[in-house]
Amino acid sequence: MKSLSDLRDELNLWESLEKKIVDTLELAQLEDPSLFEELTTETAAIQADVHKLELSTLLGRKYDRGNALLTINTGEGGTDAQDWAAMLERMYLRWAERRGFATEILDYNEGEEAGIKTVSMAINGPYAFGYLRSEKGVHRLVRLSPFDSAHRRHTSFAQVEVLPEASQEDPMVVINPDDLKIDIYRSSGAGGQNVQKNSTAIRITHIPTGIVVSCQNERSQLQNRENAMRVLRSRLLDIAQQAADKNLADLRGVYQKAEWGSQIRSYVLHPYQMVKDHRTEFEVGNSQSVLDGDIDGFIEAYLRQVK
């Protein structure tokens, strides 16, 4: 029923676009100068819709249509790297907001001085995983460090992992409760009211694979457990998918350490402004707009290259 509903929605989009084109052509054939402004506006809207639907045709892989789980881990660079991870978190949240996608923080570990050590979030919306799979890999930042008293230029790294959210009904993921080791502990925080007095944080170890997932963002032990299971299912789906097709890592890709030489994209704030993707050579001179969530150009360039 879900597949049927998705296909019906997609068909409605194409039929709506067709009707819009036919109506606009009929207006144009009237050759009425007073309609010129309206036709110009409508034509621009049609072009935008065509471009959007054209891009969706590049998202035909099995899990492209579904939600995504995105995790950012700090790499080399100390405090600067933790601050860089927080900047990436903001970038993806802004991007999701632009698209009207819903976001939910599943796990969040603050850095010692600034930023974050790691954050996991769910991004829910049509084709969320299809778009975001282009973002998996190492992201590098070059800037004048606000944490260096001499204000010298620093390079920081962060690892972005993107997984499709696996449903409980997905036949590729079967979890035996006997294979799980579940630990309950107190959530850590910045102090004061952020530190939980009760043990609500959850750590789940999947014994056969050794995968460890922890969630502590919610105040409810049950909610943290549910979120941890969401992440675990997606990680197991990733493994199952790669095992089914060893020649093509469709989902997570080959893991790379977050260090020199492994980055997929560089964000340069000093001595000049530029963001460049090293896989597609696509680049933008306005670094701030990219950090504010304008990453569609990078996503499209990647999708066109790997189609």
SS (H, E, C) 165-231: CCCCCCCCCCCCHHHEEEEEECCCCCCHHHCCCCCCEEEEEECCCCEEEEECCCCCHHHHHHHHHHH
pLDDT tens-place values along the chain, 307 residues long: 877 887 888 899 899 999 999 999 999 999 898 999 999 999 999 998 898 888 888 998 888 989 999 999 999 889 999 999 999 999 999 999 999 999 999 989 998 888 999 999 999 998 999 999 999 999 999 999 998 888 889 999 999 999 999 877 777 888 999 999 999 988 765 444 444 456 788 999 999 999 999 888 777 888 899 999 999 999 998 888 777 666 444 454 544 555 555 799 999 998 899 999 999 999 999 999 999 999 999 999 999 998 7
User: Which phi and psi angles does 105 have, rounded to 5°?
Assistant: -80, 120
What's the rounded Cα separation, in Å, for the pair 153 and 177? 50
Segment holding 156, helix H or strand E: strand 153-164
Q: Is the pTM of this model over 0.75?
A: yes
Note whether 205 and 144 are within 8 A (CB): no
